[in-house]
Amino acid sequence: MRGDKMILCEHCGGREKMNKEFLDAIEANPIIAAVKDEQGLQNCLGREELTVFGRRRQHLPTEGGHIVRQILRLNAHLILERIHQAGKIAMAHIDLITGLSSKEVSVDYICKNIHADGIISTKASMINRAKKLGMYTVLRFFLIDSMAIKNIENLGNQHEQLPDVVEVLPGLMPKILKQICKTSKVPVIAGGLISDKEDVMGALGAGAAAVSTTNQKVWEL
């Protein structure tokens, strides 16, 4: 996280301003590039019209904690730096970083050492910690049954911090997506299996604020 945003969130009204900046970026460019490899990273960084969430899978050794942390810091820091230099938002998909624990301290590490703007996670505890640190947050849901939909509807009911947005996967069910968008307390991103213009229009037409995809052909729409 860059220093100015860390300072901003400590002041009254700062978090609201941050949230607005994040949501404005999504609204301005509703096709989000989810990056999974170097070729994709190079492609999206050269496209000014794309909002980029640097969602790059990191495969790291599981033994030798000090070595793991150093490799992660070197690789991820360089990737995040390139995304920031391109003037784009860098989100770390913390669940996909092998070698980091599932504990909240991992969020502190991503924030203070890797300097990501925010995190993507399926874990509410990770989202809560990231919010406290002033990071952008995307809470991910896999729509495997009706309970997942109910969990989205109930966000905030237990006084936990709301994420900035939720991402639902797969994003190819307009009827379900429309229901979620109507009841969700925060904007919704549709992700997973988005592969063409019809998928994009279907998701946006159902009320999604944006779509997220690794499919580079969709980035060009």
- pLDDT confidence bin for 49, thresholds 50/70/90: low
3-state secondary structure of 155: coil
For the domain that residue 37 is a member of, what is the CATH number?
A: 3.20.20.70
* Structural domain that includes position 86: 3-219
The whole-angstrom separation of Cα 67 and Cα 139 is 29
Question: Is residue 141 within 8 Å of 122, Cβ to Cβ?
Answer: yes
- Locus of tokens 């790291």: 60
Read out DSSP for 51-104? EEE----B---SS-HHHHHHHHHHHHHHHHHHHHHTT---EEEGGGBTTS-SST
Q: Which is it for the CA torsion 22, 27, 29, 31, positive or negative?
A: positive
- Write the pLDDT tens digit of every residue in 89-120: 889 989 888 777 788 999 999 999 889 999 99
| Angle 173-218-192 from CA coordinates, rounded to 5° | 35
Confidence at residue 159, expressed as pLDDT on a 0 to 100 scale: 67
The structural domain count of the chain equals: 1
